[in-house]
Amino acid sequence: DTEVTQTPKHLVMGMTNKKSLKCEQHMGHRAMYWYKQKAKKPPELMFVYSYEKLSINESVPSRFSPECPNSSLLNLHLHALQPEDSALYLCASSHSPPPDNEQFFGPGTRLTVL
């Protein structure tokens, strides 16, 4: 298994909803990442988990809450989002934590906040 999977593929939610994005990899990678990508823009790093511990939080608003329940899973819990949070949310993993940043990306979850 050499891929990163993300669910759901698409998500539409209201500003009062609570939802979660899920990411899974079975490559034995020990670092996992969340990125946010707006249309026609590069991915922006949100969080990095190394060995299941949060190692980088790029000053992301608290309405985004990451969770790494084990070495294969990464969740992003969403609550009270704003329309400007609509974007493609990409998960990635790498064999080792940074600086070895050869990252494998999932296909993304396209999030729309109404």
Partner 1 sequence: GEDVEQSLFLSVREGDSSVINCTYTDSSSTYLYWYKQEPGAGLQLLTYIFSNMDMKQDQRLTVLLNKKDKHLSLRIADTQTGDSAIYFCAESMRTGGFKTIFGAGTRLFVKA
Q: Which residues of this chain interact with partner 1, rule CB under 8 A?
A: 4, 6, 41-45, 48, 55-56, 58, 90, 92, 97-108, 110
Q: Which CB atom, from 17 or from 75, has the smaller least distance to partner 1?
A: 75
Tell me phi and psi for residue 89, to 5 degrees: -105, 120
DSSP string across 48-61: EEETTEEEEE-S--
CB of 16 to partner 1, least distance (A): 28
- Beta strands (DSSP E) in the chain are 4-7, 10-13, 18-25, 31-37, 44-50, 53-57, 64-70, 73-79, 87-94, 104-105, 109-113
| Residue number, 6 or 81, with CB nearest to partner 1 | 6
Compare residues 12 and 100 and give the one whose CB is closer to partner 1: 100
The least CB distance from residue 59 to partner 1, in Å, is 11
Q: How far is the CB of 70 from partner 1 (least distance, A)?
A: 22
